[in-house]
A and B are shown apart, each in its own frame.
Chain A
Amino acid sequence: MEKTWNNKAWFMVLPVLLLVAFSAVIPLMTVVNYSVQDTFGNNEFFWAGTEWFEEVLASERFHDALFRNLAFSLIILAIEVPLGIAIALAMPRSGFWVPVCLVLMALPLLIPWNVVGTIWQVFGRADIGLLGHTLAYLGIPYNYTQDPVAAWITVIVMDVWHWTSLVVLLCYAGLVSIPEAYYQAAKIDGASRWSVFRYIQLPKMHRVLLIAVLLRFMDSFMIYTEPFVVTGGGPGNSTTFLSIDLVKMAIGQFDLGPAAAMSIVYFLIVLALSWVFYTVMTNYGQDER
């Protein structure tokens, strides 16, 4: 039977297209316009051509922020994905504890980003924070305002605390959708715990893991609020990620042209990496099937 094509259905997506146009496309077009001009305010612009792009591409400040951001994203993915899978595997599949675990897991996700930053900022302080005070009591040197390593550890642990739950909930959704017959068949075949995980659970979680990795990568690559609240990008520039640097440039220095050029380069990197992630993981799944 031939498939029916009804192009009138396109009208149903018009409201979404309008919304995306006003919230994303028009601002993006404006940023492109700003990236080739210079302004001193008062809505007056002067043509600069590709000058800002050349400046950004040659800028050590941009390279450093990009490297820090990539390192941060890779570290949190390396921690959150295996940890999320492990917690999801350990969670009960039925009974009283299921809703309890789900609510506990969802709690960090419900807290606004700036509140998470404030919680960890206070938590890590040696004078009033539980973590900082305990570490000082144990004689472990820890000061996230002066030591770059401590600042990085704080930002990473904070992100893991905030977002591992998302990976857990997605993996758990994948796990509970596996029919019991699969486990029974594995038991009859005498499959080990590792074999059950490798050949039943992991392939069945593949789709949700794809979403989890994509969401966490994009989100961590665009992280702003939490590190800004905790460290303000410091000490020095040690936790200045791309978005923090961008805001410093655009709002702090009012360099709208270079900031627009930097945001376009940033956007293209996010787009390219997300496409690579998506394509590789989607096609990996097709090979598996």
Chain B
Amino acid sequence: MTLSWMAWTWPTAIFFITIFGLLIGMGVWEYAVPGGSPRVGILRFETTRGDRLFVSLLGSAFICLFWLGLVGPSLWWALALCLGYALCVFRWV
């Protein structure tokens, strides 16, 4: 079976490997520390670490979209901003 119809490129492959790597990492974390570490953060409702990953990824996608729309096509600084945002989410949300 050839996967040429999926039109793979290295950047998109790296993107998906990162996402799957994150999911596997979350699975391992959950295995090591079960329960999802629920807590009430600055949003004032309970979140688990799965919620925090979801908010990080979704927020990062919008950061990249806003960057593309308002700043320009180079996304390296947007990526740095996304990492900072994800750290803040895991620390305070």
Q: Which of A5, A7, A34, A282 contacts B7 (CB 8 A)?
A: A34
- The listed residue (B34, B62, B75) touching A50 by CB distance below 8 A is B75
The secondary-structure label for the interface of chain B is: helix
A268 to B73, CA, bound (A): 19
- Looking at the complex, which one of B11, B12, B45, B62 makes contact with A272 (CB distance below 8 Å)? B62
Q: Give the number of residue pairs across the A-B interface with Cβ within 8 Å.
A: 58
Which B residues from 1 to 55 make CB contacts under 8 A with A?
4-9, 11-12, 15-16, 31, 34, 45, 54
- Which range holds the interface residue count of chain B? 20 to 34
A75 on interface, CB distance cutoff 8 Å: no
What CA separation (Å) do A286 and B44 show in the bound complex?
A: 12
Contact A29 B6 (CB under 8 A): yes
- Give the residue name and chain of the B residue nearest to A5 (CB): B34
Q: How far is the CA of A223 from the CA of B62 in the complex (A)?
A: 23
User: Is B73 a contact partner of A51 (Cβ separation < 8 A)?
Assistant: yes
| Measured CA separation A26–B5 after assembly (Å) | 11
- B88 at the binding interface (Cβ < 8 Å): no
* B65 in complex: contacting residue of A32, A47, A51, A268, CB < 8 Å: A268
Asked if B80 is an interface residue, CB under 8 A from chain A, the answer is: no
Known A32-B15, A271-B58, A275-B58: A53·B9 in contact at CB below 8 Å = no
Q: Within 8 Å of chain B (Cβ to Cβ): is A279?
A: yes
Q: A282: which B residues are within 8 A, CB to CB?
A: 45
- Which chain B residues have a beta carbon within 8 Å of chain A's beta carbons? 4-9, 11-12, 15-16, 31, 34, 45, 54, 58, 61-62, 65, 68-69, 73, 75
Other contacts beyond A51-B73, A268-B58, A268-B62: 13, CB < 8 A: A26-B6, A29-B6, A32-B16, A33-B12, A36-B12, A39-B7, A53-B68, A54-B68, A57-B68, A271-B58, A272-B58, A275-B58, A286-B45
Q: Which residues in A have some Cβ–Cβ distance to B below 8 Å? A: 5, 7, 26, 29-30, 32-34, 36-37, 39, 43, 45, 47, 49-51, 53-54, 57-58, 265, 268, 271-272, 275, 279, 282-283, 286
